[in-house]
C-alpha cells in the first residue's frame, strides 16, 4: 500500500460482520479463562492485554497504524509529545549518562532536557546542527548514549541533515532519535535516512483538529542494542523474573521495554477515547498535509512580495538557505508553518495581528485552522527588545500556521492585516 492508503487501512481491520469503524474499547480491564494464562501474560511469555495503563486494543490499533506509516517494527502511544520525548530518552539513559541534542528544537523539549532531566542526573549536550561532523564529534563523551534532533524544527523551521546525524550517532554506536512532529511521515520518514527511533507530538498535524494531546514513539528495529553499551537491554530485568529484552523480543526490544517497564511504571498512556480521535485525524493526514503545503507555498510567496514584510522563513522558498536540505528531506513540501518578520517591530506586528478576522490568535500550531502567534507579546512577552534579539526573536516576528481553508480567503485576511499597518 502507498502511504495515503496506509493512513486509512493500516491498524484496525474489521473481520466479517464486525464494525467497519475502529471501536473504542472503553475498558481498563481484561477477562481470562485460566490462572495459567494470566501467569504467562505477567511473564511476557504470551502477547495480550493486562491493564489499560500498559496497553489497550483501541490504542494498539493506532500504534500499528503509526508504526506502518513510519516504517517501524512497533510503536507506543503516550499521553503527550512531552512524555514521548521523556520515555524515548529514559528507555536508553540512566543517571550519569549524557546525550547529544541539536540546539534548534521545541522550547518545551529544551526545558525537559536541560532542566528536568538534569535533576535525574542525565546531561543534555546541545550542539549546533550546522556544525561539521568533526565539530559535533568533539561533544561526545564516554557516557554519551544517544543523539536527538527535529526533522523540521519548531519554531525555527530549520531542516535537520538527518543522514549526517545518523552517521555521527552510528560511528559512536549510539541510536539517533528524531522528533518528526512537523514533517509527519507524509513529508519525511526519518527511518529511511538512518534514524533509529522516531517520536511525535500527535497533538499537532496527526490529530489536526486540536482535540487531543498525545504522543508516540516508533522503533525502527534496526539498532543493535547488544554492542556492549546498553546493559539494560542485554542483562536480566528483575521486575520480570530475569527476562532479557534483546533475547525475548529481538528487533522489538526497545519498544517492548519502553512499554512494559516505563509505561507500566510512569503511567503516561493515552485513553482509548483519545486514540480514537487521533485515528480520525490520521485517516485524513495525507490529504491535509498536501493542502497545508500548497497553501503555505502560495502564502510564503505572497508575503515575500509584500513591501511591509522584512523577511520570510519557509524552507520551500528558493531564497531559503536550506533549500537543498528541504529538497532532499522534504520533497513533497515543508508543512504549513511559516514565520515572517513585519517591518516596524512589535507595534506593527500587533496592529497586523489584531486586524485579522479569519486567522486565530492561538498558542498552537499545525491544525486545520489558520493560526497566528506573535512571540514578542505572547510566549516571550517578559523579554525587552534587547533580550528578544539575544533569543533570536525579532520584535516583528509572526508565526503563521497555515490551515486548509481556501488559500484565497487566507491571503485576503493577511492583506487586511497588512493594510492596518
Ligand atoms: C508540541 C511539540 C512537542 C510537545 O508535544 P505535546 O503533545 O504538546 O506534549 C514536542 N515536539 C514538537 C516538535 C512539538 O511541536
Atom 8 (ligand 1) nearest CA? 81
Average pLDDT, the chain: 96
DSSP count for the chain of H helices, then E strands: 19, 12
Residue 378's pLDDT is: 83
- pLDDT of 118 strictly over 90: yes
Mean pLDDT computed over 81-87? 98
Mean pLDDT computed over 108-115? 93
Count Cβ atoms below 10 Å from residue 277 Cβ, excluding itself: 20
Residue 35's pLDDT is: 96
Query: Which pLDDT tens digit goes with each residue over 360-369?
Result: 999 899 999 9
DSSP calls for 147-196: EEEESB-TTT-PBP-HHHHHHHHHHTT--EEEE-TTTHHHH--GGGGT-S
The CA 42 to ligand 1 mean position distance, Å, reads 33
Query: Which pLDDT tens digit goes with each residue over 232-276?
Result: 999 999 988 899 999 999 999 999 999 999 999 999 999 999 999
Q: Rounded distance, CA 215 to CA 262, Å?
A: 15
- All three cell numbers of 385, joined, read 527588545
Confidence of residue 399 (pLDDT cuts 50, 70, 90): very high
The CA 402 to ligand 1 mean position distance, Å, reads 18
Confidence of residue 53 (pLDDT cuts 50, 70, 90): very high
Does the pTM of the predicted model rise above 0.85?
yes
Mean pLDDT computed over 123-138? 96
DSSP calls for 69-102: HHT-SEEEEESSHHHHHHHHHHTT--TT-EEEEE
The CA 293 to ligand 1 mean position distance, Å, reads 20
Confidence of residue 40 (pLDDT cuts 50, 70, 90): very high
Residue 33's pLDDT is: 95
Around ligand 1, the residues with Cβ closer than 6 Å are 80-82, 106, 108-109, 150, 154, 179, 181-182, 201, 203-204, 213, 215
Query: Which ligand 1 atom lies nearest to the CA of residue 153?
Result: 13
Query: Which pLDDT tens digit goes with each residue over 180-208?
Result: 999 999 999 999 999 999 999 999 999 99
Closest CA to 196 of 175, 217, 170, 179: 175
Angle at the Cα of 327 from the Cα atoms of 215 and 190, rounded to 5 degrees: 30
Amino acid at each position: 500500500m502507498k502511504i495515503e492508503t496506509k493512513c486509512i487501512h493500516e491498524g484496525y481491520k474489521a473481520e466479517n460482520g464486525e464494525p467497519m469503524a475502529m471501536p473504542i474499547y472503553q475498558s481498563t480491564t481484561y477477562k481470562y479463562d485460566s490462572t495459567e494464562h494470566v501467569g504467562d501474560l505477567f511473564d511476557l511469555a504470551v502477547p495480550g492485554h493486562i491493564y489499560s495503563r500498559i496497553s489497550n486494543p483501541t490504542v494498539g490499533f493506532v500504534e500499528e497504524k503509526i508504526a506502518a506509516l513510519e516504517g517501524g517494527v512497533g510503536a507506543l502511544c503516550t499521553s503527550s509529545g512531552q512524555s514521548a520525548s521523556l520515555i524515548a530518552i529514559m528507555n536508553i539513559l540512566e543517571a550519569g549518562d549524557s546525550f547529544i541534542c541539536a540546539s534548534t528544537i521545541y522550547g518545551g523539549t529544551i526545558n525537559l532536557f536541560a532542566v528536568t532531566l538534569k535533576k535525574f542526573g542525565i546531561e543534555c549536550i546541545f550542539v549546533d546542527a550546522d556544525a561539521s561532523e568533526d565539530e559535533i564529534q568533539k561533544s561526545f563523551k564516554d557516557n554519551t548514549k544517544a543523539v536527538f534532533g527535529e526533522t523540521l524544527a519548531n519554531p525555527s523551521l530549520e531542516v535537520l541533515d538527518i543522514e549526517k546525524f545518523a552517521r555521527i550517532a552510528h560511528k559512536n554506536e549510539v541510536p539517533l532519535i528524531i522528533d518528526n512532529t512537523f514533517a509527519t511521515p507524509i513529508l519525511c520518514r526519518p527511518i529511511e535516512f538512518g534514524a533509529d527511533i522516531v517520536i511525535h507530538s500527535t497533538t499537532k498535524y496527526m490529530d489536526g483538529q486540536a482535540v487531543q494531546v498525545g504522543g508516540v514513539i516508533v522503533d525502527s528495529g534496526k539498532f543493535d542494542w547488544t554492542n556492549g553499551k546498553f546493559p539494560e537491554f542485554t542483562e536480566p530485568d528483575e521486575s520480570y523474573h530475569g527476562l532479557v529484552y534483546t533475547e525475548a523480543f529481538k528487533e522489538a526490544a526497545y519498544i517492548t521495554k519502553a512499554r512494559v517497564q516505563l509505561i507500566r511504571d510512569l503511567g503516561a498512556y493515552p485513553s482509548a477515547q483519545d486514540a480514537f480521535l487521533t485515528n480520525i485525524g490520521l485517516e485524513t493526514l495525507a490529504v491535509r498535509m498536501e493542502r497545508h503545503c500548497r497553501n503555505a507555498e502560495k502564502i510564503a510567496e505572497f508575503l515575500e512580495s509584500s513591501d511591509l514584510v522584512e523577511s520570510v522563513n519557509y524552507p520551500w522558498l528558493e531564497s531559503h538557505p536550506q533549500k537543498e536540505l528541504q529538497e532532499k528531506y522534504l520533497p513533497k513540501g515543508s508543512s504549513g508553518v511559516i514565520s515572517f518578520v513585519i517591518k516596524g517591530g512589535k507595534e506593527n506586528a500587533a496592529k497586523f495581528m489584531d486586524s485579522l478576522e479569519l486567522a486565530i490568535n492561538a498558542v498552537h500550531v499545525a491544525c486545520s485552522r489558520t493560526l497566528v502567534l506573535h512571540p514578542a507579546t505572547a510566549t516571550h512577552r517578559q523579554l525587552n527588545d534587547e533580550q528578544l534579539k539575544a533569543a533570536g526573536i525579532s520584535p516583528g516576528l509572526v508565526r503563521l500556521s497555515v490551515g486548509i481553508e481556501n488559500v484565497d480567503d487566507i491571503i485576503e485576511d493577511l492583506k487586511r492585516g497588512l493594510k492596518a499597518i
